Amino acid sequence: MLQSLNSMPDFIVVGAGIAGLRAAIELAAAGQVLVIAKESLRESSSEYAQGGIAAALGEDDSVELHAQDTMAAGDGLCNPEAVRVLVRSAPAAISELIEWGAQFDREDSRLALGREGAHSRRRILHAQGDSTGREIARTLYRKASSLPSVHFQSYAAVTDLLLADGEVTGVMVCDPASRRSIPIYGRAVLLATGGLGQVYRVTTNPEVATGDGVAAAWRAGAELGDLEFVQFHPTALHLEGAPAFLLSEALRGEGAYLINAEGERFMPRYHPLADLAPRDVVSRAIVSEMARTGSEHVWLDMRPLGEELLRRRFPRIYQTCLRYGVDPAREPVPVHPAAHYAMGGVWTDLDGRTSLPGLFAAGEVAATGVHGANRLASNSLLEALVFGARAGRAMRELPSSGTSRRGRPPEDGFPAIEAEELRRLAWENCGIVRTGEQLAGTCEILERVPLLRGVEPRRELFEIRNMHTVVWLIARCALARRESRGAHYRADFPHKDPRFQKHSRVSKRHDVEFA
């Protein structure tokens, strides 16, 4: 049963990953904060982030170089101001984490800096080799839970935003124990719900990542942007009976490389950076090699790293591979691309404000334009940290309304479609390579799905409703962008078009626009 609150919280934070926790810490001095987690407080995309967190800390590095690499990966669509905020805030954000107890890996007394794809310098900090997200989340949770005004509610799925006179006044929460939806009101709401990767059949995302924040914001009438840009990580474990476990890009940064069914290193044929090319390039190259050789996967050869380095630097990856019957120190590991990260989401300014008064967003659910058309590796944890803090600061500046205005959720039914059918449609038609025919067909199929009304609400139905909305929005935005750019590749429009060097925007009030 959901905990009953003696009074209305001042601030509601939906999501207990890095963005949500960092915002809660910032909000703690301004009022009562309620952090709502869909599952346990440990189940978020942050927990699974292996690669690390980027910051220009090396003697040969600078925030300008970090910005250049971010902009290059974004393929012409990064918001330069957002990028400047991100890279300039990084050193101080890392120092703050260390002050709060984060234990990053070191070489002697100095922070160890690794390199990943599309980075021109070694600037990636790691924790316990490949458990960086977990360490940052642990640090932030310990800090947040030490603050008496921050409260937590786990196993509570937020299903809708509450609206009064066009302003967000709270959230509806599905209580699994009582099978009822319960309203919780607050001065402001922050969406920090993470990603949407579970709408795809193969994904590195946790089961909770069903696009809930994007879908709830859409239903409430918020502006969304850049939803066509979904990044596929090139190297997810591809073994029968094993999950699509992420094999960090840091492996290739340390010397691992991809080979095809013929045992050939193929990436030098596709890009000057070879195995360290941007993720969209590597993912498409893998798909091309699989098609050319008739293989269901390619292989990541980690043998050049040696067993000692694998054990020390990548302990989770090493042990996971062993658990599923492959020894990465002695044999190449089968890999296949998997849906990984959403560059788009709820459109915000640089302080997390959305187009709806009272609603903020930060982390993967938000679209600040910082990632452009393709996220630079290890910028996501940094984005959650930096923009989570900025959103918290902006929220605490809101004046208290002094009233407990009761809002209502938008009315909607539940689509009569199975989750697996949605995942199939997304994977086959909105995946690494797309065509206008596939995208238009997907929109048509989803728009014909009938709605169930008057049924007993439960979490699974809310998740299917969210997934249906997200796949439809991805297809609509991808259909409207008649070019190929970054993580969005149209086989029928294979080149960049200067007319589309703009961000897509869509809401209930208007179709897809570019601005």
d(CA 400, CA 482): 45
Question: How far are the Cα atoms of 35, 103, 197, 207 from residue 244, in angstroms, in the given order?
Answer: 29, 27, 12, 12
Element at 288 (helix H, strand E): helix 279-293
Q: Alpha helices, DSSP H only, in 363-458?
A: 380-396, 419-429, 436-447
Judgement on whether residues 334 and 347 belong to the same structural domain of the protein: no
For 386, left (φ over 0), alpha (ψ -120 to 50), or beta? alpha
Q: What are the tokens at 353?
A: 């404000």
Domain contains 478? no
Q: What are the tokens at 111?
A: 């922070």
d(CA 51, CA 131): 8
Judgement on whether residues 27 and 151 belong to the same structural domain of the protein: yes
Domain contains 375? yes
Pick the last residue of a domain from 338, 358, 384. Answer: 338
Give yes or no: 279 in active site. Answer: yes
Pick the last residue of a domain from 321, 338, 355. Answer: 338
d(CA 299, CA 307): 18
Judgement on whether residues 140 and 286 belong to the same structural domain of the protein: no
Q: Which residues lie below 8 Å from residue 510, measured CB to CB, with a gap of 6+?
A: none
Residue 305: domain span: 236-338
Number of folded domains that form the chain: 2
pLDDT at 42: 65
d(CA 96, CA 285): 39
Domain contains 165? yes
d(CA 72, CA 80): 11
d(CA 478, CA 489): 9
pLDDT per residue as tens, the chain (515 positions) = 455 444 579 999 999 999 999 999 999 999 999 999 998 876 555 555 556 999 999 999 999 999 999 999 999 999 999 999 999 999 999 999 999 999 999 998 899 999 887 899 999 999 987 789 999 999 999 999 999 999 999 999 999 999 999 999 999 998 767 778 899 999 999 999 999 999 999 999 999 999 999 999 999 999 999 999 999 999 999 998 898 999 988 899 899 999 999 999 999 999 999 999 888 899 999 999 999 999 999 999 999 999 999 999 899 899 999 999 999 999 999 999 999 999 999 999 999 999 999 999 999 999 999 999 999 989 999 999 999 999 999 999 988 765 456 777 877 799 999 999 999 999 999 999 999 999 999 999 999 999 999 888 889 999 999 999 999 999 999 999 999 999 999 999 999 999 999 999 999 999 999 99
d(CA 116, CA 372): 18
Judgement on whether residues 18 and 161 belong to the same structural domain of the protein: yes
Judgement on whether residues 303 and 191 belong to the same structural domain of the protein: no
pLDDT at 321: 96
Judgement on whether residues 19 and 75 belong to the same structural domain of the protein: yes
Domain contains 492? no
Exposed e or buried b per residue across 430-463, where buried means at least 16 C-beta atoms within 10 angstroms of its C-beta: bbbebbeebbeebbebbeebeeeeeeeeebebbb
Judgement on whether residues 282 and 352 belong to the same structural domain of the protein: no
Judge if pTM exceeds 0.85.
yes
Question: How far are the Cα atoms of 125, 453, 507 from residue 443, in angstroms, in the given order?
Answer: 41, 22, 16
Exposed e or buried b per residue across 496-511, where buried means at least 16 C-beta atoms within 10 angstroms of its C-beta: eeeebeebbbbbeeee
CATH number of the domain where residue 178 is located: 3.50.50.60
The catalytic position among 121, 123, 187, 279 is: 279
User: Residue 188's beta-bridge partner residues?
Assistant: 11
Mutual orientation of helices 18-27 and 132-145 as an angle, nearest 10°? 20
Domain contains 415? no
Q: Which residues lie below 8 Å from residue 482, measured CB to CB, with a gap of 6+?
A: 436, 490, 493, 497, 500
Judgement on whether residues 391 and 287 belong to the same structural domain of the protein: no
d(CA 368, CA 378): 16
Domain contains 62? yes
Q: Which residues lie below 8 Å from residue 227, measured CB to CB, with a gap of 6+?
A: 214, 342, 344, 345, 470, 473, 474, 477, 504, 506
Choose among 171, 187, 165: nearest CA to 401.
187
Q: Which residues lie below 8 Å from residue 402, measured CB to CB, with a gap of 6+?
A: none
Pick the last residue of a domain from 338, 365, 386. Answer: 338
Q: What are the tokens at 428?
A: 């086959």
Judgement on whether residues 367 and 325 belong to the same structural domain of the protein: no
pLDDT at 45: 53
d(CA 160, CA 141): 25
Report CA dihedral (450, 454, 459, 464) to the nearest 10 degrees: 0
CATH number of the domain where residue 244 is located: 3.90.700.10
Domain contains 301? yes
Judgement on whether residues 151 and 18 belong to the same structural domain of the protein: yes
Judgement on whether residues 81 and 189 belong to the same structural domain of the protein: yes
Judgement on whether residues 43 and 142 belong to the same structural domain of the protein: yes
Domain contains 302? yes
